[in-house]
Amino acid sequence: MKEIGGYLEFEKTQGREYYPGLVKYNLGRTACVYYLKSTGCSRLYVPHFLCDSLTDAVQAAGITLIRYSIGRDFRPDRSTLPAGPLSENERLFILNPYGQLKNEEIDSWKKEYLNIFVDNTHAFFQRPSGNVPTLYSVRKFFGVSDGAYLASDRELPSVSERDRSNTRFSHILGRFEEDAGTYYRQMLDNAHSYTSSSVKRMSRLTENILGGLDYEAIEEKRLKNYLFLDTAFGAENPLENFLRIPDGGPFAYPFYIENGIMIRKALAKEKIFVPTYWNCVIKDCLPDSTEYRYAANILALPIDQRYDTQDMETVAAALRRLI
């Protein structure tokens, strides 16, 4: 029976999600595994340059992983891939780091290999390309504790169980009113709690928040901040020869510097936090590999919607002192 009266809960938003037509799941990794298993995939070609939370989940599902390398321009190295097209039970996983792959390129990979899966975790605002299965994880772009969208090339079996995230928002709400350090441990604990998660529908709380965001303003702010840092450091960025401005609101400004690990630590002392997104790559790959050097030395400088030009000036000045 529906409750009537009593104390008020979190307000329901009246807006519209950015991807209202896509399938909504609790996590990127569970959405990926669910799609692969539902389509009968048993062999997945994945880049070395990939988070182990996803590869661990795929392997745990009984899918064989075959690794390939990336080139300096972030694209798959064809010399480490089989010739296309792939068989029905195989699929090529293509990561779109920092939103560097255009949809036209993705279309060409689809044409050559037929069975591909695109990870747009770093490219939320880049629309799916045609009939290409595409994954979006929302935690990298917005202040929510869970959530993923999947653009599928076929109808998938429905998932009945819905996730609940009301107990996982303490670090997000805490940082809204206090500093990040106070809630850093809670953030790590929250991330760790997802290790053995099964596929579920996106939580009502996250879905509600995503329906109330001003996506146009968020895109605009991210792009403005990205262009500021690109103007400040583009001439010194070794990636600049092939770096493109991402479609829509960028994820971060990727700046390459040889002593990236040391620079991150120095920036943190100035309360500028630059994450390392692929620690597993630093641990598992050879130091002279492109994957190792990129994971260790690319600074994903924050340019998100929380910040304005004055904040970007602070980031630029701190980085300038260190380099």
- For the stretch 88-129, pLDDT in tens is 999 999 999 999 999 999 999 999 999 999 999 999 999 999
Asked if residue 259 and residue 280 are part of one domain, the reply reads yes
Report which of 25, 29, 20 is spatially closest to residue 203, judged by C-alpha positions.
Answer: 25
> Which domain, by its residues, includes 73?
23-165+197-210
Model confidence at 14, pLDDT cuts 50, 70, 90, reads confident
C-alpha span between 94 and 149 (Å, rounded): 16
The confidence score (pLDDT) of residue 253 equals 97
CA angle (63, 65, 70) in 5-degree steps: 145
Residue 171 belongs to a domain: no
Model confidence at 6, pLDDT cuts 50, 70, 90, reads confident
The confidence score (pLDDT) of residue 183 equals 79
The confidence score (pLDDT) of residue 167 equals 84
Q: Is the pLDDT of residue 34 over 80?
A: yes
7-30: average pLDDT? 91
Asked if residue 248 and residue 297 are part of one domain, the reply reads yes
Neighbours of 124 (CB within 10 A): 25
The confidence score (pLDDT) of residue 223 equals 97
Asked if residue 250 and residue 143 are part of one domain, the reply reads no
Asked if residue 137 and residue 37 are part of one domain, the reply reads yes
* Tens digits of residue pLDDT in 147-191: 999 999 999 999 999 999 888 888 888 888 888 778 788 887 777
Place of tokens 């819905």: 162
The confidence score (pLDDT) of residue 192 equals 76
Asked if residue 241 and residue 144 are part of one domain, the reply reads no
Q: Is the pLDDT of residue 204 over 90?
A: yes
Residue 150: what are its φ and ψ, rounded to 5°? Answer: -130, 125
Q: Is the pLDDT of residue 2 over 90?
A: no
DSSP 17: -
The confidence score (pLDDT) of residue 168 equals 85
The confidence score (pLDDT) of residue 291 equals 94
Residue 239 belongs to a domain: yes
In this prediction the pTM is 0.93
Token pair for 72: 């300096």
Residue 178 belongs to a domain: no
* Number of domains forming the structure of the chain: 2
Model confidence at 278, pLDDT cuts 50, 70, 90, reads confident
The confidence score (pLDDT) of residue 305 equals 97
Asked if residue 224 and residue 132 are part of one domain, the reply reads no
* Tens digits of residue pLDDT in 211-232: 999 999 999 999 999 999 999 9
Asked if residue 236 and residue 138 are part of one domain, the reply reads no
* Tens digits of residue pLDDT in 125-145: 999 998 999 999 999 999 999
The confidence score (pLDDT) of residue 237 equals 96
C-alpha span between 25 and 136 (Å, rounded): 10
Asked if residue 97 and residue 68 are part of one domain, the reply reads yes
33-44: average pLDDT? 96
Asked if residue 35 and residue 148 are part of one domain, the reply reads yes
Asked if residue 270 and residue 204 are part of one domain, the reply reads no
